[in-house]
Amino acid sequence: MKPRPKKQIKETAKQRIKELFQEAQKTKSQKLANRYVQLARKIAGKARIRMPKIYKRRFCKHCYTYLRSGQNARIRTRQGKLVIYCLECKKFARIPLR
């Protein structure tokens, strides 16, 4: 059996990550959404690809919890930065705004 080309593996991985984040957004269960994030991170690591920027900001970098604005995350703008505060682990991420 021939190994699959790396390009095909990376495309499949990106597609699966996209599907997992769509499922995490749809589900009501926080536990299940966290599991989808965990799986997406695992796929990105295995395929050795970077997590796309739009998905990177949807989970906490410290506890890997799927962030839902108002439920387990507080999102504010402050001094030209977007501040995402995780209410699960009490950590925050600052992202510069342009």
pLDDT confidence of residue 39? 97
- Name the pLDDT band for 70 (thresholds 50, 70, 90): very high
> Does residue 43 lie within any of the structural domains?
yes
> Does residue 53 lie within any of the structural domains?
yes
Per-residue pLDDT, averaged over 64-83, amounts to: 95
CA distance 48 to 42: 10
> Does residue 1 lie within any of the structural domains?
no
Distances (CA, A) of 61 to 6, 7, 56: 27, 27, 8
Structural domain boundaries enclosing 47: 6-96
Look at the chain and report how many structural domains it folds into: 1
Name the more confident of 3 and 60.
60
Residue 29 has pLDDT above 90, yes or no: yes
pLDDT confidence of residue 92? 94
> Does residue 88 lie within any of the structural domains?
yes
pTM: predicted TM-score of the whole model, two decimal places: 0.88
- Name the pLDDT band for 37 (thresholds 50, 70, 90): very high
Distances (CA, A) of 78 to 74, 83, 96, 98: 12, 7, 10, 13
CA distance 24 to 30: 8
Neighbours of 82 (CB within 10 A): 14
SS3 helix, strand, coil % of the chain, rounded to 5?
45, 20, 35
